[in-house]
Structure 1
Amino acid sequence: MRKSLLIISRQAPWSGPGAREALDIALAGGAFDLPIGMLFLDDGVFQLTAAQQPKTLQQKDLSANLQALPMFGVESLYASARSLQERGLAENPLTLAAEPLDDAALAALIDRYDQVITL
């Protein structure tokens, strides 16, 4: 039986390699048809905002990778409602249909997965 995997992405897209590495793991796992979910937590919710300008910081744009997640079978996308609220993003449209979850739902989500990777 295949084990399910939850990837928790906690870094903003411009703060280092963690955001890109989380996406790479999700895309690779999806290519092998693993049951994968992705949770955007803390500054990781900034990955879901539109109109980012990564070239200003000499970073690569992650939006194409994010948009590819559903094509690779990674359709279980979640975001911390508290993280969105604390960063003023709760009312903004997100680039992906990530389901906002409260703290209790986050704990239940993490318990549902066999393995959890946090980046």
Structure 2
Amino acid sequence: MTEATGGIDMEENTSGTIKKFLYVNRKAPYGTIYALESLEVVLIAAAFDQDVSLAFLDDGVFQIMKGQHTKAIDVKNFSPTYRALEGYDIEKLYVEKESMEARGLKEEDFIVPVKVIDAQEMADIMQSQDVVLSF
């Protein structure tokens, strides 16, 4: 206990266990708030030094697609924000191979480096997490 912090040892309070968080993105980037909300939550979690991973499945693969143009729908294109993830030490980005291929996409179509994995590998990654949040 220390007097400067009102009797609380701050070192004791800040030395918690790091949890593994996986954010699963299944929705298209525009038309709902899910994609943008997911990205904001991911950045917040990373700021608290958690082990953060992102997974893109179903129409969520479109969130990280290059060449998004949103002027016609009058919304801000937030896809360049994904490039900032590396600065937050978020480097585990997974794309489900089946979702990518079903939408005619290839790994080089994405704005950030990703690891393309099959559905079984994705299930294994999900199983290994402490927390899985789906958007």
TM-score in terms of structure 1 length: 0.94
- Supply the distance in 1 between the matched residues of 2:32 and 2:88 (Cα, whole angstroms): 24
Matched, 1:117 2:133: yes
5 Å matches for 1:58-69? Answer: 58-69=74-85
- Supply the distance in 1 between the matched residues of 2:46 and 2:80 (Cα, whole angstroms): 15
Task: Select the structure of larger CA radius of gyration.
Answer: 2
- Root mean square deviation, CA, Å: 1.2
| Count of equivalent residues | 119
5 Å matches for 1:30-41? Answer: 30-41=46-57
Specify the alignment match of 1:57 in structure 2: 73
Specify the alignment match of 1:15 in structure 2: 31
Matched, 1:75 2:91: yes
% same residue: 32
1:81, 1:90 within 8 Å by CA — same for their partners in 2?
no
2:107, 2:116 within 8 Å by CA — same for their partners in 1?
no
Aligned structure 1 segments of 4 or more residues deviating by more than 6 angstroms: none
2:52, 2:92 within 8 Å by CA — same for their partners in 1?
yes
- 5+ unaligned residues in a row in structure 1: which ranges? none
1:31, 1:73 within 8 Å by CA — same for their partners in 2?
no
